[in-house]
Amino acid sequence: MQTTPKVVAIHDLSGFGRCSLTVAIPVLSAMGVQCCPLPTAWLSTHTGGFTGYTFLDMTDEMSGAADHWQSLGLQFEAVYSGFMGSEAQMAIVERMIGQFRAPGGVAVVDPVMGDHGARYATYTDGMCRAMARLCEKADVITPNLTEASFLLDRPYADMPGDPEGFLALARELSGGGARSVVLTGACSGPEDIGAACFDRETGKTELILTGRVPGEYHGTGDVFASVLTGALVRGRSLEQATRQAVDFVAVCAERSRVEGIPQREGVDFEPLLGLLTGR
The binding site for ligand PXL (CB under 6 A) comprises: 12, 14, 19-20, 43, 46-48, 83, 112, 120, 219, 221-222
19 vs 167 by CB, closer to ligand PXL: 19
Shortest Å, Cβ 70 to ligand PXL: 26
Q: Amino acid identity of 231? A: A
For the chain, the C-alpha Rg in angstroms (whole number) is: 17
10 vs 246 by CB, closer to ligand PXL: 10
Shortest Å, Cβ 131 to ligand PXL: 13
Shortest Å, Cβ 194 to ligand PXL: 18
Shortest Å, Cβ 228 to ligand PXL: 14
Shortest Å, Cβ 259 to ligand PXL: 20
142 vs 180 by CB, closer to ligand PXL: 142
118 vs 178 by CB, closer to ligand PXL: 118
205 vs 220 by CB, closer to ligand PXL: 220
194 vs 219 by CB, closer to ligand PXL: 219
Shortest Å, Cβ 217 to ligand PXL: 10
Q: Are 109 and 123 in contact (CB under 8 A)?
A: no
Q: Are 7 and 32 in contact (CB under 8 A)?
A: no
Shortest Å, Cβ 25 to ligand PXL: 14
